């Protein structure tokens, strides 16, 4: 059995997330997704809109996902040690170095292959920030129309 591990913030689920998870699932028999803790997301990306437990629940409910867990705040490799994946899948925009991850896993006694997936599509709705900006823009338009009435 090949266990695949993917990770991310998964703040507002969009088509890019779904495609990423579908492609990750194709690489093995089981897909375990690590959802970033709120504090980790704030440190490396942005303050999440949805709390970590809600994001974990939503991700685990998605068809390609067998299990979703919250990551460790102090050491991301502790989560890797617990899950023991055969493959770690990275999204095209994740700021990790494949070789560094493989080397650290090897130092910890884990044989893991790291695969970076390509970008799928270029939709307006293919990014959490893009979705938020679009909502704000629409709200501004609605507000402006209401003011002119």
CA atoms within 13 A on the CB side of 49: 8
Across 31-35, 43-47, 98-102, least confident range: 43-47
pLDDT (average), residues 47-62 = 96
- Cα–Cα distance, 60 to 136 (Å, whole number): 28
- Cα–Cα distance, 33 to 64 (Å, whole number): 10
31: pLDDT confidence band, cut at 50, 70 and 90?
A: very high
pLDDT (average), residues 4-21 = 93
Q: Which residues pair with 31 in a beta bridge?
A: 4
For the stretch 94-116, pLDDT in tens is 889 999 999 999 999 999 999 99
Domains, the chain, ranges and CATH? 3-120 (3.40.50.620)
Specify the residue for token string 């507000």: 143
* Percent of the chain that is helix, strand, coil (3-state, to 5): 45, 15, 40
pLDDT (average), residues 77-81 = 97
Element (H, E) at 25: helix 15-25
Q: Is the pLDDT of residue 15 over 70?
A: yes
CB 16 within 8 A of CB 94: no
Note the pLDDT of residue 19.
92
Q: Is the pLDDT of residue 124 over 60?
A: no
Q: What stretches of the chain adopt beta strand conformation (E)?
A: 3-8, 30-35, 67-70, 87-90, 113-116
Element (H, E) at 140: helix 128-147
């Amino acid at each position: 059995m090949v266990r695949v591990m993917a990770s991310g913030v998964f703040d507002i689920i969009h088509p890019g997330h779904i495609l990423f998870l579908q492609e990750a699932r194709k690489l093995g028999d089981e897909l375990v997704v690590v959802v970033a803790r709120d504090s980790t997301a704030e440190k490396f990306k942005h303050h999440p809109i949805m709390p970590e437990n809600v994001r974990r629940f939503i991700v685990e409910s998605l068809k390609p996902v067998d299990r979703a867990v919250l990551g460790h705040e102090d050491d991301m490799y502790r989560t890797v040690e617990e899950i023991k994946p055969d493959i770690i899948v990275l999204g095209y925009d994740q700021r990790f170095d494949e070789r560094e991850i493989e080397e650290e896993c090897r130092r910890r006694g884990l044989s893991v292959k790291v695969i970076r997936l390509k970008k799928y599509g270029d939709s307006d709705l293919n990014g959490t920030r893009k979705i938020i900006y679009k909502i704000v823009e629409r709200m501004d338009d609605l507000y402006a129309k209401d003011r002119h009435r």
